[in-house]
């Protein structure tokens, strides 16, 4: 990887699943209860690409930067890939992937170790390359899926072999590896209470696709369930409240995390749902109605529908993060941020993060994207900005000087720093670290003023923040939302799903030689 440190404390300018049950499950090993919590604790606790096993990107005990925010350090991958992204930040170490797996010192980006996956001694269609695209950290071990394949005659990368590998988090030494010598890929691992949850092909090399619970100590199979998928999906399985949640080709399923037994099925006639996250016993999913988009809240224990909010028109809605009061989403991959009341889906506020003008000679550049969200401590982080979660007002915003053609993603917020990735890795820190949220809140406790809106009329007045100017009386044109409160476990057949915002909390990238 050889990720090079480019500069320290250089100031930047201020500018601002696919699966459905088709067969019986196999249970091997332990049946001890697995009770993953749906939010983490600790100032520097970002163990999964989406923050935690429940994929909430929410850590109210964490801290992020505020005050005068600038670039602390940045680096570019000097190895065999040009892209690098942060997957976890734990105990002062940043775990990154760019095709290989690496560990960096969070203080200055110094590389601590690099791990490259071995290519098995078997026949491939062409010169093979191994790629590690994601990673998860639990109890001093890094777990990662490995893809091995080659380019075909049409220059399309084809995976011909896949594996799951465990690496010592301190040294980078390999601890164990489980291989599946077939086409396909393992999804991002979810690590909870000594188990790894992952979707992928048959470990024995046969046909079929499965959701697995692996023993984190040696990779042995604790249980597996046969699933049917239309395409390989690298997104993680969601694990919370003793269940594993995956999105089938139709609807959403929940499995007992200890035994693999099917607990419930919901929305069986809705195709291509995206399972976003679980928070405080609520499962949030999304799908696209083409045109339009819908966000649905389900009871995590039963799959019963609590509410759904639909948006008409040519829109794409990405669920980003959540807290005890609101669900935060982005719309149309631009700088619009929407906060929904998590109890009924009503819109609490809407904000826009201003973007500086893009030079005409660099039209693809995206200096301040609104991609990737995290709710850490007392602030909402989105792209290169921080907002007040109570009303969407901008606390600070930063631009990155280089015009990145592909834009960049917010990967993580941990230890007083924001980690952005794309063509390079940029780490921001402030002259202050924001105050942690002090007291856990229940669903009925409010520590800030919620701005209520009525979603049924086209001329609804919302609170919108454009730049640093607050205009509570502004009427904002927007796609018309329609909200329905219901407890039905089935819904109409909508279309394709929207995705979780943020790759860590961002994009899943395919790295090759």
Domain ranges (residues) in the chain: 3-27+34-485
Q: Which ranges of the chain have pLDDT less than 50?
A: 4-32, 35, 37-41, 77-81, 364-368, 403, 405, 437-478, 480, 484-513
**Ramachandran category for residue 411: left, alpha or beta (phi over 0 → left; psi -120 to 50 → alpha):** alpha
The 3-state DSSP class for residue 141 equals strand
Sign of CA dihedral 380, 385, 387, 392: negative
Class of domain 3-27+34-485: mainly beta
Torsion, Cα of 124, 125, 128, 133 (10° steps):
-100
Two structure tokens written together for 65: 């930067």
Residue 130 C-alpha from the chain's centroid:
23
At residue 124, the pLDDT reads 81
Please give the C-alpha separations between residue 52 and each of 138, 155, 321, in angstroms, as whole numbers: 10, 36, 11
> Model-level pTM?
0.79
At residue 378, the pLDDT reads 94
At residue 52, the pLDDT reads 97
> Interior CA angle at 36 toward 41 and 103, to 5°?
60
92-143 pLDDT, tens digit per residue, is 999 999 899 999 999 999 999 999 999 988 888 788 889 998 999 999 999 9
259 CB burial (10 A radius; 0-12, 13-18, 19+): middle
At residue 81, the pLDDT reads 41
At residue 109, the pLDDT reads 93
70 vs 13: CA distance, rounded Å? 8
381 vs 57: CA distance, rounded Å? 10
The shares of helix, strand and coil residues in the chain, as percent rounded to the nearest 5, are 0, 45, 55
Look up residue 48 and give its DSSP letter.
Answer: B
286-342 pLDDT, tens digit per residue, is 987 778 899 999 999 999 999 999 998 888 888 999 999 999 998 875 568 999 999
Look up residue 185 and give its DSSP letter.
Answer: -
41 vs 60: CA distance, rounded Å? 7
Two structure tokens written together for 438: 């002090």
**55, 506 in Cβ contact below 8 A?**
no
Residues 6 or more apart from 359 whose CB is under 8 A from it? 365, 403
247 vs 265: CA distance, rounded Å? 10
324 vs 438: CA distance, rounded Å? 13
At residue 160, the pLDDT reads 87
288 vs 92: CA distance, rounded Å? 39
At residue 223, the pLDDT reads 98
């Amino acid at each position: 990887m050889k990720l090079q440190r480019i500069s320290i404390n250089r100031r930047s300018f201020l500018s601002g699943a696919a699966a459905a049950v088709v067969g019986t499950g196999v249970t091997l090993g332990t049946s001890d209860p697995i009770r993953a919590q749906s939010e983490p604790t600790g100032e520097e606790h970002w163990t999964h690409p989406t923050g935690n096993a429940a994929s909430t990107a929410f850590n109210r005990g964490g801290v992020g930067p505020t005050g005068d925010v600038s670039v602390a350090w940045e680096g570019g991958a000097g190895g065999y890939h040009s892209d690098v992204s942060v997957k976890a930040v734990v105990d002062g170490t940043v775990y990154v992937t760019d095709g290989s797996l690496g560990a960096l010192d969070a203080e200055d980006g110094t590389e601590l170790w690099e791990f490259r996956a071995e290519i098995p001694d078997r026949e491939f269609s062409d010169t093979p390359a191994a790629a590690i695209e994601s990673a998860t950290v639990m109890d001093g071990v890094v777990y990662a899926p490995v893809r091995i394949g080659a380019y075909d005659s049409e220059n399309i990368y084809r995976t011909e072999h896949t594996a799951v590998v465990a690496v010592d988090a301190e040294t980078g030494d390999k601890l164990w590896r489980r291989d599946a010598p077939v086409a396909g890929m393992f999804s991002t691992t979810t690590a909870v209470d000594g188990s790894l949850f992952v979707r992928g092909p048959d470990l024995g090399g046969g046909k079929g696709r499965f959701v697995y619970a692996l023993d984190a100590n040696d990779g042995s199979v604790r249980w597996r369930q046969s699933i049917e998928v239309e395409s390989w999906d690298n997104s993680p399985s969601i694990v919370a409240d003793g269940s594993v949640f995956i999105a089938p080709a139709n609807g959403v399923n929940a499995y007992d995390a200890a035994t693999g037994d099917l607990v419930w099925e919901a929305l069986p006639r809705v195709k291509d749902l995206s399972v976003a996250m679980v928070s405080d016993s609520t499962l949030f999913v999304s799908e696209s109605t083409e045109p339009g988009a819908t966000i649905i809240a389900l009871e995590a224990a039963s799959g019963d529908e609590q509410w759904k909010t639909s948006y008409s028109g040519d829109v794409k809605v990405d669920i980003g993060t959540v807290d005890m009061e609101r669900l935060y989403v982005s719309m149309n991959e631009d700088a619009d941020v929407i906060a929904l009341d998590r109890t009924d889906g009503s819109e609490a506020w809407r904000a826009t993060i201003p973007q500086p003008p893009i030079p005409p000679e660099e039209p693809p550049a995206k200096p301040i994207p609104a991609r990737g969200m995290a709710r850490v401590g007392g602030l909402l982080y989105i792209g290169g900005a921080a907002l007040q979660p109570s009303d969407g007002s901008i606390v600070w915003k930063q631009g990155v000087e280089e015009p990145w053609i592909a834009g960049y993603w917010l990967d993580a917020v941990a230890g007083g720093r924001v980690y952005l990735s794309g063509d390079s890795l940029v780490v921001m820190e402030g002259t202050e670290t924001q105050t942690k949220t002090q007291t856990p809140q229940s669903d009925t406790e409010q520590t800030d003023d919620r701005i209520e809106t009525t979603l049924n009329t086209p001329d609804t007045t919302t609170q919108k923040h454009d730049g640093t100017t607050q205009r509570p009386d502004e009427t904002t044109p927007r796609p018309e939302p329609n909200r329905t409160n219901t407890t039905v476990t089935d819904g109409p057949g909508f279309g394709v799903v929207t995705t979780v915002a943020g790759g860590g909390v961002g994009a899943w990238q395919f790295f090759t030689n």
